[in-house]
Amino acid sequence: MAVTAKDAFYIKLGRGGEWEADCLKQGFLQFGYHETPHELCLAGEWEKVRDFWAVRRGDQGTATRDVKQIRAFYEADENCLFITFANGLLHWCKPTGPVEVLPDRSHRRATMDGWHTQSLDGTPLSSDRISGHLLKVQMFRGTICQVKQRAYLLRKLNDELSPELTAAEEAERAMIGAIIGMMRLLTWQDFELLVDLIFTASGWRRIGVVGRVQKTVDLELLLPTTGERAFVQIKSQANAASLRDYAARFEQANLYDRMFFVWHTGNVAANGEADSITLIGPERLARMCLDAGLASWLREKVS
């Protein structure tokens, strides 16, 4: 079932994350404000709670902000989400049950089924894949704040794309198809050059050409950062038999750390890829071409 929520809150699990490990492991929420009169909160006497904190804070505005956080912790139900960030991941849960006052006077609530760090489809919610607009909640100086990016958060948890991203992906798919078509218009010499440019853009350096016949070229590459040597078999047209032939040569040569088998036309079974053999067919190569910024170069070549 899709994750739904009428509201979403960000929570810091203790000063400096002191409760973080226990909360995430055991599946509960913990909140400070130790002096808060628990019975007044249970009774919903929020004006009296605000007056209580106004005396201690000496400021009505600060007390109002305090009560807003306390009330969120007490009143959020199973139709709400709580999120936090820890260990490079977004963690989310749904609160349930009453607030429990612990011996140290901090407050704890159970969660419906613990904390989660993946979307519904199992995608890890790593911080590097989260919008900066949502990540900014970590800058909140208090303990609990409302998540303004609730719609985005729910899309992320449900593996849904925004309309803008859907349109971008459709445009990208169309561009990938166009690049494949243009690659097939290249001479084999220009196709070799394109592959060389793509690998160069990703950090590889050509150190030699092993063989050169029509529609086939073998390159030697070096990755300077690691010293890794690679053999690249470039074919305009390829099939499973040609892959087996070059894979056997690669194994026998024992000169290279890995082999790339690159082609733009033909069918090669995906199970032909091994630990040291990487298959780069039309779609994968087209995407690499796009990522390397070579689409314009390709258009010039076939125009």
Would you state the pLDDT for residue 137?
A: 93
CA atoms within 13 A on the CB side of 249: 15
Would you state the pLDDT for residue 198?
A: 93
CATH of domain 166-302: 3.40.1350
How far CA 26 is from CA of 52, 112, 113, 279, 283, in Å, comes to 32, 12, 10, 44, 45
Are the folds of 7-157 and 166-302 the same?
no
Domain residue ranges of the chain, discontinuous segments joined by +? 7-157, 166-302
Q: Is 186 left (phi over 0), alpha (psi -120 to 50) or beta?
A: beta
Q: How far from each other are the two terminal CA atoms of the chain, in whole angstroms?
A: 50
CB-based contact 79:8 (threshold 8 Å): no
Backbone torsions φ then ψ of 36, nearest 5 degrees? -55, 130
Would you state the pLDDT for residue 269?
A: 72
Identity of residue 296: S
Distance CA 156, CA 176 (A): 25
Would you state the pLDDT for residue 126?
A: 94
CB-based contact 232:219 (threshold 8 Å): yes
CB-based contact 127:88 (threshold 8 Å): yes
CATH of domain 7-157: 3.10.590
In 3D space, the residue among 99, 103, 102 whose CA is nearest the CA of residue 41 turns out to be 99
Each residue's pLDDT expressed in tens, for the chain with a length of 303 residues? 889 999 999 999 988 888 999 999 999 999 998 989 999 999 999 999 999 999 888 888 999 999 999 999 999 999 999 999 999 999 999 999 999 999 999 999 999 999 999 999 899 999 999 999 999 999 998 999 999 999 999 999 999 877 777 788 888 999 999 999 999 999 888 998 899 999 999 899 988 775 555 444 578 899 999 999 988 888 888 888 888 888 777 777 777 888 899 999 988 776 656 678 889 999 999 999 999 999 999 999 888
Structure-block tokens of residue 256: 């290279």
Backbone torsions φ then ψ of 233, nearest 5 degrees? -100, 115
Residues in the chain: 303
8-63 confidence digits (pLDDT tens): 999 999 888 889 999 999 999 999 989 899 999 999 999 999 999 998 888 889 99
Would you state the pLDDT for residue 211?
A: 56
The pTM for the full model equals 0.65
